[in-house]
Amino acid sequence: MTLSEIANELVAGCREGRERANLDKLYAPDAVSVEAADMGDGRETHGVAGIHGKHDWWEGAFKVHELTVEGPFNHGEESFAVIFGMDTENNETGERRKEREVAVYHVKDGKIAREEFFYAT
């Protein structure tokens, strides 16, 4: 897949609730996911199985009331960015927050090799 095809499919998948299927379809087996802050297990997660684990944690910890997805914003032949807007509720505390984050995806050999998330900490 080209960078544009990967970027467009990732965005479409996020808008249509196909994030999980896209992990297996678009990501390299040894992909790295990097958070802006340590959520308890370090900032970096390695491998698609580990990234699935991050999704498990997120889905268990938060209810998403609204998700907006802007982009993709391509950058050369190897990277693109997406802006996410979220209205979430913490399942444990009931706290509701509206947040935005920027995600930068790096593509190598037709797969997402690295994703980096930028948000207020």
- Burial-class residue 27 by CB neighbours within 10 Å (0-12, 13-18, 19+): buried
Please report the DSSP string for 75-115 in residue order.
Answer: ETTTEEEEEEEEEEEETTT--EEEEEEEEEEEEETTEEEEE
Taken in order of first residue, the domains within the chain and their CATH numbers are: 3-118 (3.10.450.50)
pTM above 0.85, yes or no: yes
Distance CA 25, CA 111 (A): 8
Residues in the chain: 121
Going residue by residue through the chain (121 aa), what tens digit of pLDDT does each one get?
Answer: 999 999 999 999 999 999 999 999 999 999 999 999 987 889 999 999 999 999 999 999 999 999 999 999 999 999 999 999 999 999 999 999 999 999 999 999 999 999 999 999 8
